[in-house]
Amino acid sequence: MCFQRKMFFSGGKPPDTIAVFPSITNNTSKEHPLVYLPLRCLLPKRIENLIVAGRCFSSDKFANDLFNLIPHCIAMGQAAGVTAAIAVKEGVNVQNVDHSKVKERLKFQGVFLGE
């Protein structure tokens, strides 16, 4: 899944949310909702067992310009590590990890996921 410009303004919350960020204006409102990053943006479709986190996640130029800051990269790295650990523990590739388990573990670690 490619994170695109329109997703910054949709206010939609993907079921596989792994990170939540303030709006691009840092003034969260109906017009500028929170931004939810889905795990799918870190999982390439054509390469199994690979996670891409940080500046190389799947995004258009607009999204990449805004998400290439250190806090965003840290959040993606944490989610990538959690996903990899669950995959190893369960003996599955990362594309087959149940995203609800990733979210559960991230919440246990104190990550705010907008819930």
Per-residue pLDDT reduced to its tens digit, 91-110: 999 999 999 999 999 999 99
Contacts of 43 (CB under 8 A, 6+ apart): 50, 51, 52, 94, 95
Residue 36: exposure state from Cβ atoms within 10 A (0-12, 13-18, ≥19): buried
Q: What are phi and psi of 102, to 5 degrees?
A: -65, -45
Using alpha carbons, select from 71, 39, 65, 37 the residue that is nearest to residue 52. 39
- pLDDT one-digit tens code per residue, 62-101: 889 888 889 999 999 999 999 999 999 999 999 999 999 9
